């Protein structure tokens, strides 16, 4: 791995996708053993229009998350490497597509982690917009409620994650674009870079003069913009990158 692009970098934006959490036992979505690869029909359960229209889809969604691997997952070497990088003299911001909060669990400062697609640790009401810990709703599902409703207003509940067909919060996306534009280096780690507008943060960084380095098993639509594309396993590649940056 050539890390000459790491020299002189003082500000790093790290865009992380599902691939950074697979070593923690959380399956990705589009890989050979991905959630949607194994069960293509589950895509409907993650589509906002289908979720809102059909109680059977909602029941499938809640059952999928009832025993999800994320609840018992622990941070891995890649998450911990970013914590070590934050503790160096490098200014680090994490822009994550993941909803598992493993970055924060590993020790990354919550204020330096921007959750672009939300978090599974909260549930939001689609009516009154109240937020509650997800454990409360999942306990109701485990007790037999297939389609739990808000106890205040009776509206549909959903995990506080961005589904297909939903727009990202414009304030959050604007913040992410500013971080990308002011980074000296953008690391895109474990993301297919197929989901927009988040993937376009790579172009925002490059257009602002930042270097882009992609760490991912498969090709991405943004490989041609990268100073380097690394195909090594994330659990070994990212610690080496962070060590090079913090010299």
Residue 184 and residue 146 in one domain:
no
Residue 131 and residue 100 in one domain:
no
Residue 17 and residue 98 in one domain:
yes
Residue 127 and residue 91 in one domain:
no
- Cα-Cα-Cα-Cα dihedral of 11, 229, 85, 120, to 10°? 100
Which is nearest to 29 in space by CA: 15, 21, 18, 41? 18
Task: Provide the domain limits for residue 195.
Answer: 1-26+75-117+168-247
pTM recorded for the entire structure: 0.92
Residue 88 and residue 132 in one domain:
no
Q: Which of 68, 117, 121, 167 is catalytic?
A: 117
The total number of structural domains that make up the chain: 2
Element (H, E) at 122: strand 118-125
Residue 57 and residue 95 in one domain:
no
First vs last C-alpha separation in the chain: 16
Tell me, yes or no, if 117 is annotated catalytic.
Answer: yes
Per-residue pLDDT of the chain (247 residues; tens, 9 = 90+): 777 888 889 999 999 999 999 999 998 766 655 555 566 566 777 899 999 999 999 999 999 889 889 999 999 999 999 999 999 989 999 999 999 999 999 999 999 999 999 999 999 999 999 999 999 999 999 999 999 999 999 999 999 999 989 999 999 999 999 999 999 999 999 999 999 999 999 999 999 999 999 999 999 999 999 999 999 999 999 999 999 998 7
User: Are residues 21 and 100 in contact, defined by beta-carbon separation less than 8 angstroms?
Assistant: yes
Q: Rounded to whole angstroms, what are the CA distances from 16 to 58, 116, 143, 238?
A: 27, 10, 34, 11
Residue 147 and residue 246 in one domain:
no
């Amino acid at each position: 791995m050539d890390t000459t692009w790491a020299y002189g970098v003082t500000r790093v934006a790290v865009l992380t996708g599902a691939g950074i959490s697979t070593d923690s036992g959380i399956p990705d979505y589009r890989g050979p053993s991905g959630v949607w690869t194994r069960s293509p029909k589950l895509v409907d359960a993650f589509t906002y229009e289908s979720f809102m229209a059909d109680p059977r889809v909602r029941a499938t969604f809640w059952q999928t998350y009832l025993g999800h691997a994320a609840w018992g997952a622990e941070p891995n070497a890649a998450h911990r490497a970013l914590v070590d990088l934050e503790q160096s003299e490098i200014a680090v911001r994490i822009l994550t597509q993941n909803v598992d909060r493993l970055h924060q669990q590993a020790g990354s400062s919550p204020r330096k982690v921007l959750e672009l697609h939300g978090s599974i640790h909260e549930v939001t009401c689609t009516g009154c917009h109240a937020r509650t810990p997800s454990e409360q709703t999942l306990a109701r599902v485990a007790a037999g409620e297939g389609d739990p409703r808000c106890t205040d207003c009776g509206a549909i509940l959903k995990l506080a994650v961005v589904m297909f067909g939903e727009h990202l919060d414009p304030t959050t996306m604007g913040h992410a674009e500013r971080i990308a534009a002011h980074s000296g280096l953008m690391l895109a780690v474990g993301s297919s870079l197929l989901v927009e507008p988040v993937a376009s943060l790579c172009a925002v960084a490059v257009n602002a003069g930042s270097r882009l380095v992609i760490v991912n098993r498969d090709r991405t639509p943004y490989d041609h913009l990268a100073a380097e594309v690394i195909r090594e396993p994330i659990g070994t590649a990212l610690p080496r990158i962070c060590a090079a940056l913090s010299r």
